[in-house]
Amino acid sequence: MFTLALYLFAFGWLGLTYLKDRQKARAAVTKCCRSFFNIFPDFAAVLLLVGLMLTFLAPETIARLIGKSSGAAGMFLTSVLGAITLIPGFVAFPLAASLLKMGAGIAQIAVFISTLMTVGVVTAPLEAKYFGWREVLWRNGLNYLFAFFTALVIVKVVGA
Amino acid sequence: MTKTALAAVKRYRAALALLLIDAVLALVFPHFSPALIRNTWSNFAEMLSVLPPVFLILGLLDVWVPRQTVMRCLGPGSGILGALLCIFLGAAAAGPLYGAFPVAETMHRKGASYFNVMVFLGAWSTLKIPMAIFETSALGARFSLTRWVTNVFVIFVVATVINRVLPPAEKCVRTTDGNDGE
């Protein structure tokens, strides 16, 4: 649905551009293809890595690992799992909700959600292509630490 | 001919190495192989369906939006309004964080400040509205609202720190459309 809208928008715009200014349309398509094919090898690698990870560290495996984990050790475990895995939100949130029902604590789940969103170990090589390794280390490192801060705030507001 | 083939192999060396690992793992753990193929395939199918229109839109933005406009709205002098606009742009997005990288590249090349690009990345990763709606239904409004508000603060802190600690030469988003590869 969303993808269809994206296609309609992109090609509609391209069509209008072509009608107004062929040169511009050509330039846009050239730019699009060049940047796409230049980054594609890196995307392919990341997608393969994500496929591997989803297989051997599937949501069910994560659920088993997190289970009733609690305390600081549980937070550490969930933070690491969140940082290295890459799970789409529509899988992650129901997973988090069921983990809560299984007995995991709010703090552990909050850390998991935060690191899942902000820290990307598997996507780090791709990020480095665009931003360089220093940025990757700082952005991921800071966000990893701040995940614990966010979790503490959530615990204060929502309650453990 | 062989030279281009060699160059292609070199460009895809990471992907090829991973394919090899996939093959070895599929042989060692045969019961995992259907899931491995399914997961890898669905990943590719999903991204390959979303990426082309995204890159096309970026190409169109490139030819239509003048640099001065981006500069004025998101450039170094854009102040808090520029940062808020980046929060809004990131929150309105959809898709995984790696979809934000090419967008950030175009923004930066068009004149958005590095700080604002970092704010945009932060907003894309944590403030996406479609995601927040989903989060609310799964974990409750208190949880998602608290996380959302806390993250706005975290985004500014992280962007400020990165903007301070990185040497000026590192504060750029690399272009991927040719000659400045590594």
Q: How confident is the model at residue B1 (pLDDT cuts 50, 70, 90)?
A: low
Q: Is the pLDDT of residue A88 over 80?
A: no
pLDDT tens profile B81-113 = 999 999 999 998 877 888 899 999 999 999 999
| DSSP SS3 for A105 | coil
Using a CB–CB cutoff of 8 Å, tell me whether B60 touches chain A.
yes
Using a CB–CB cutoff of 8 Å, tell me whether A31 touches chain B.
yes
Mean pLDDT computed over B122-134: 91
Mean pLDDT computed over B3-25: 89
Å between B72 CA and nearest CA of chain A: 23
Do B181 and B135 reside in the same domain of the chain? yes
Q: How many CB atoms lie within 10 A of CB B66?
A: 11
Percentage above 90 pLDDT, chain B: 62
Percentage above 90 pLDDT, chain A: 52
Å between A121 CA and nearest CA of chain B: 12
Looking at the domain assignment, is residue B14 inside a domain? Answer: yes
Q: Is the pLDDT of residue B3 over 70?
A: yes
Looking at the domain assignment, is residue B100 inside a domain? Answer: yes
Q: Both tokens of residue A136?
A: 């990757």
Å between B156 CA and nearest CA of chain A: 11
| DSSP secondary structure letters along A34-84 | HHHHHHHHHHHHHHHHHHHHHHHT-HHHHHHHHTT--HHHHHHHHHHHHHH
- Cβ-based contacts of B62 with chain A (< 8 Å): 27-28, 31
Using a CB–CB cutoff of 8 Å, tell me whether B154 touches chain A.
yes
Looking at the domain assignment, is residue B178 inside a domain? Answer: yes
Closest residue to B55, CB basis, from A7, A36, A47 = A36
Closest CA to B99 of B125, B73, B76, B77: B125
Q: What is the pLDDT of residue B182?
A: 33
Do B134 and B167 reside in the same domain of the chain? yes
- Cβ-based contacts of B169 with chain A (< 8 Å): none
Query: Which tops the pLDDT comparison, A13 or A61?
Result: A13
Q: How confident is the model at residue B179 (pLDDT cuts 50, 70, 90)?
A: very low
Q: Do B22 and A46 touch (CB under 8 A)?
A: no
Looking at the domain assignment, is residue B37 inside a domain? Answer: yes
Residue showing tokens 């190409």: B59
Using a CB–CB cutoff of 8 Å, tell me whether B180 touches chain A.
no
Q: How confident is the model at residue B141 (pLDDT cuts 50, 70, 90)?
A: very high
Residue A64 CA, chain-centre distance (Å), reads 21
Using a CB–CB cutoff of 8 Å, tell me whether A139 touches chain B.
yes
Number of H helices, E strands in chain A: 8, 0
Domain count within chain B = 2
**Alpha-carbon gap, residue B165 to B159, rounded angstroms:** 10
Q: Both tokens of residue B74?
A: 């998101």
Looking at the domain assignment, is residue B28 inside a domain? Answer: yes
B 75-134: CB under 8 A from A: 94, 96-98, 101-102, 104-105, 118, 121-122, 125-126, 128, 131, 134
Closest residue to A135, CB basis, from B15, B54, B166 = B166
Q: What is the pLDDT of residue A157?
A: 94
Closest CA to B137 of B145, A104, B93, B126: B145
Q: How confident is the model at residue A153 (pLDDT cuts 50, 70, 90)?
A: very high
Q: How confident is the model at residue A160 (pLDDT cuts 50, 70, 90)?
A: low
Do B123 and B171 reside in the same domain of the chain? yes
∠ CA B135-B139-B145 to the nearest 5 degrees?
65
**Alpha-carbon gap, residue A54 to A24, rounded angstroms:** 41
Using a CB–CB cutoff of 8 Å, tell me whether B50 touches chain A.
yes
Do B131 and B181 reside in the same domain of the chain? yes
Q: Both tokens of residue A22?
A: 């062929």
Mean pLDDT computed over A23-49: 90
Q: Hey, CA dihedral for A137, A139, A144, A149, is it positive or negative?
A: positive
Q: Is the pLDDT of residue A133 over 70?
A: yes
End-to-end CA distance of chain B: 23
In terms of residue numbers, what domain contains B30? 1-51
**Alpha-carbon gap, residue A44 to B43, rounded angstroms:** 10
